[in-house]
Chains A and B, each alone.
Chain A
Amino acid sequence: SQQGEEDPQALSIQEGENATMNCSYKTSINNLQWYRQNSGRGLVHLILIRSNEREKHSGRLRVTLDTSKKSSSLLITASRAADTASYFCATGLQGGSEKLVFGKGTKLTVNP
């Protein structure tokens, strides 16, 4: 079963706008990661935030983590057509395992 649930399932915006995707999870985590996938290809790691961190930035990406609400958000600022992809959150669980539990993803379409 999925640990993370992304919201919304699909998002369509215009180039230059910001895109916000949310992720909720169920159990305690070591870290939470966001990945991007272009059209049935491999996943690209975007950002990792540890359970003791609240916010992290990488270029146009901003991730927040609220462990009390078991939720995270990914903000992409000034979006580009090339950002069109599916975005997944994945939780690294406590207990020393390297296993990631993925949500079902948000399909983002950025219209030029």
Chain B
Amino acid sequence: KAGVTQTPRYLIKTRGQQVTLSCSPISGHRSVSWYQQTPGQGLQFLFEYFSETQRNKGNFPGRFSGRQFSNSRSEMNVSTLELGDSALYLCASSLALGTYGYTFGSGTRLTVV
């Protein structure tokens, strides 16, 4: 069974640009969450989606947004990129988190120059 697929794997953007990252969850998983990982702050929760509805949002500025489609695929968008947005962005899907935990994708490494 295919895992969680994140595209692209690597991305280099310039300050002020915007970026869209994509995540395809495991087939049948309706819950998708996004995390940002940096050396300084570690793993920080961004959003959580279930059946196209955002159920939770982390403590990030409004430049960070996301959505989930009817096929459970999810995208996150970061507008007006800043140098501090350079990070590994991880997407995770779950069948039933309280029982099985998350399956993570390999991440998108975003570098802002």
0 or 1 for each of A77-107: is its CB under 8 Å from B? (1 = yes): 0000000000010101000011111111100
0 or 1 for each of B95-108: is its CB under 8 Å from A? (1 = yes): 00111111111110
Residue in B43, B50, B88, B109 whose CB lies within 8 Å of A98: B50
A28 within 8 A of B: no
Residue pair A98, B55 in contact (C-beta under 8 Å):
yes
B81 within 8 A of A: no
A44 within 8 A of B: yes
B42 within 8 A of A: yes
Residues of B within 8 A of A41 (CB): 106-107
B17 within 8 A of A: no
A27 within 8 A of B: no
A43 within 8 A of B: yes
**Chain B contacts to A: CB under 8 angstroms:** 4, 31, 33, 35, 42-43, 45, 48, 50, 55-56, 58, 88, 90, 92, 94, 97-107, 109
**Chain A contacts to B: CB under 8 angstroms:** 2, 30-31, 33, 35, 40-45, 48, 50, 88, 90, 92, 97-105
Q: List 16 A-B contacts (CB under 8 A).
A: A2-B42, A30-B98, A41-B106, A42-B90, A42-B106, A43-B102, A43-B104, A45-B103, A90-B43, A92-B97, A98-B31, A98-B97, A100-B102, A101-B45, A102-B35, A105-B42
